[in-house]
Amino acid sequence: MKKALSLLLALVLVIGLAACGGGTDTTTTTAAPADNGETTTAAPEETTTAPSGDKEKINLYAFTDEVPGMIQRYLDFNPEVAEKYELNATIIATTDGAYQPALDQALAGGGADAPDIYCAEAAFILKYSQGDAYQFAMPYEDLGIDVAAKLEEADIAQYTVDIGTNPDGKLVGLGYQATGGAFIYRRSLAEQVWGTDDPAEISKKVGPGWDTFFAAAEEMAAEGISMVSGDGDVWHAVENSSEKGWVVDGKLNLDPNREEFLDIAKTLKDKGFMNETTDWQDPWFADMKGEGPKPVFGFFGPAWLINYVMAGNSGGEAPGEGTYGDWAVAEPPVGFFWGGTWLLANKDTAKAEVVADIIEWVTLDSSEEGLQYMWANGTLNGEGGTKDSVASGTVMAKSNGELDFLGGQNMFDVFIPANAFANGKNLTQYDETINSNWRDQVRAYVAGEKSREDAIATFKQNVADNLDVIVE
């Protein structure tokens, strides 16, 4: 009896304490914005006198360990900064939709644990730069970065700037990658059909425009070759060719270019231009190795697709093995980009100076000591790393993008103009949901499960049902 009561008491105490702790938490939260002006100015003095063991934490929210790894390298390169600060990274996967709710709560909650820097993926960056959560992001210029001069010096891909600019016209987010896309094709199949594998020639064969692309697909089909693996491959190009985004002034906008995806996908299937795979599934990967039911001529994608996906799935590690070395990049029929990570700073950060240095180093530094030069040449963590297309045209112009996988082609020759083609003005914060709905309906139409009208009607209904968007 006494035991039971004491146990209960303990339980109530624990819960009570937790509740009290929460109470103080909320009060500091509400007080935080008012204090901030002072703490920002006071901070540097305090930290210089502080003993080196007492490091300040730079709070970072990210969804992979890529950016945390970069910032860790920054601290390695700058020991004087590392004396004062240490990285406190919170990594939450975007799977199961967990990253955004957690980040949102952390931003809204504020306090000492609020992120100083946070990352956003292409799929949801709009929410943080222009949408519901834009008020949390501090403009780069307020951090003390000379934005205009730096942008010009580094020749940053315009679409990444457009995406990172808030409704007041101020830049709040930039990436380190540029993910402008190319058409990545098989050299041997080009040789077989057209007698040449020269990227400049192939660029003229497959584009510009879908009509040219289909004419080329016709020639490929005649030789028993599929132009692409699945309709998902052309989707990113179609999506980006649209003038406006899915939602304009709160209303659903089905752009004619995006509506045409129905017909493009149907043509791909009916004329045997594709293997009807679904992206990110086994048969799609098998097509990269050339082991599908029909050989596949090419894939649409940015540099990361080559490095992280295609190279590993080519069935070899050196030219001559599998399809390794049998690829090249050409200009796509329609400009597009796919993916990317943007860095944003919290408007309430008390460490504006170091945050500014880090963000500038990652996104705007076009020198050989900047992150992007190392990222483009694959030298961030020592020689021989993966080469990637970066946001700064200046960096890419002086970097070496030659890959054995592409038969020695310098991929940057194609990706620099590709980054310029990409359009960053047609995104909305609803894209992830609306895209998956649209592609689902297109798939049903192409498979002959429903009519074109029904597919469009169901699509509109789904958007109206699941989002706070007006559908006419």
* Segment 323 to 382, residues that bind another protein, using CB under 8 A: 339
Q: Is 440 helix (H, G, I), strand (E, B) or coil?
A: helix
- Of the candidates 208, 272, 290, 312, which one interacts with another protein according to CB under 8 A? 312
User: Which two three-digit tokens encode residue 197?
Assistant: 């594998």
User: Which two three-digit tokens encode residue 367?
Assistant: 């020198």
56 in contact with another protein (CB under 8 A) = no
- Of the candidates 51, 53, 95, 224, which one interacts with another protein according to CB under 8 A? 95
- Which residues, 6 or more positions from 179, have their beta carbon under 8 angstroms from its beta carbon? 122, 302, 303, 304, 337, 338, 339, 340, 389, 422
Nearer to another protein, 41 or 461 (CB): 461
Letters for 412-431 (x = contact with another protein by CB under 8 A, - = none) are: -----------------xx-
| DSSP states along 226-241 | BSBS-HHHHHHHHHHT
Nearer to another protein, 8 or 50 (CB): 8
Burial class (CB in 10 A: 0-12, 13-18, 19+), 41: exposed
Looking at residues 99 to 118 of the shown chain, list those that interact with another protein (rule: CB under 8 A): 99-102, 104-109
Task: Give least dist CB 331 to another protein, A.
Answer: 22
Alpha-carbon gap, residue 161 to 459, rounded angstroms: 31
User: Which two three-digit tokens encode residue 195?
Assistant: 């007698």
Letters for 178-197 (x = contact with another protein by CB under 8 A, - = none) are: --------------------
- Of the candidates 203, 253, 372, 462, which one interacts with another protein according to CB under 8 A? 462
53 in contact with another protein (CB under 8 A) = no
224 in contact with another protein (CB under 8 A) = no
Choose the stretch contacting another protein; rule: CB under 8 A; options: 77-85, 90-98, 344-352, 367-375.
90-98
Q: In one letter, which amino acid is 381?
A: N
The strand ranges marked E within 92-219 are 117-121, 173-175, 182-186
Alpha-carbon gap, residue 325 to 94, rounded angstroms: 33
Nearer to another protein, 67 or 237 (CB): 67
Nearer to another protein, 103 or 145 (CB): 103
Task: Give least dist CB 89 to another protein, A.
Answer: 6
> Count of residues binding another protein (CB under 8 A)?
90
Task: Give least dist CB 25 to another protein, A.
Answer: 4
Other CB atoms within a 10 A radius of the CB of residue 29 amount to 15
Q: What are phi and psi of 144, to 5 degrees?
A: 100, 15
- Of the candidates 39, 86, 211, 308, which one interacts with another protein according to CB under 8 A? 308
Nearer to another protein, 67 or 354 (CB): 67
Query: What is the C-alpha radius of gyration for the chain, rounded to an integer number of angstroms?
Result: 25
Q: What are phi and psi of 156, to 5 degrees?
A: -75, 135
Alpha-carbon gap, residue 55 to 38, rounded angstroms: 20
Letters for 9-48 (x = contact with another protein by CB under 8 A, - = none) are: --xx-xx--xx-xxx-xx----------------------
Task: Give least dist CB 314 to another protein, A.
Answer: 9
Q: Which of 231, 253, 261 is nearest to 460 (CA)?
A: 253
- Of the candidates 84, 127, 186, 187, which one interacts with another protein according to CB under 8 A? 127
221 in contact with another protein (CB under 8 A) = no
How is the chain split among helix, strand and coil, in percent rounded to 5? 50, 15, 35
Secondary structure (H, E, C), 176-210: CECCECEEEEEHHHHHHHHCCCCHHHHHHHHCCCH
Nearer to another protein, 349 or 428 (CB): 428
**173-175 β-sheet, strand order:** 85-91, 56-62, 117-121, 341-345, 173-175
Task: Give least dist CB 208 to another protein, A.
Answer: 27
Nearer to another protein, 89 or 364 (CB): 89
Choose the stretch contacting another protein; rule: CB under 8 A; options: 259-267, 363-371, 372-380, 463-471.
463-471
Q: Is 92 left (phi over 0), alpha (psi -120 to 50) or beta?
A: beta
Looking at residues 149 to 178 of the shown chain, list those that interact with another protein (rule: CB under 8 A): none
229 in contact with another protein (CB under 8 A) = no
Looking at residues 434 to 453 of the shown chain, list those that interact with another protein (rule: CB under 8 A): 434, 436, 440-441, 443-444, 447, 449-450
Task: Give least dist CB 186 to another protein, A.
Answer: 17
Other CB atoms within a 10 A radius of the CB of residue 470 amount to 12
- Of the candidates 32, 81, 92, 193, which one interacts with another protein according to CB under 8 A? 92
Choose the stretch contacting another protein; rule: CB under 8 A; options: 45-53, 95-103, 160-168, 202-210.
95-103
Looking at residues 267 to 296 of the shown chain, list those that interact with another protein (rule: CB under 8 A): 275-278, 280-283, 285-286, 289, 291-293
| DSSP states along 417-432 | HHHHH---SS--TTHH
254 in contact with another protein (CB under 8 A) = no
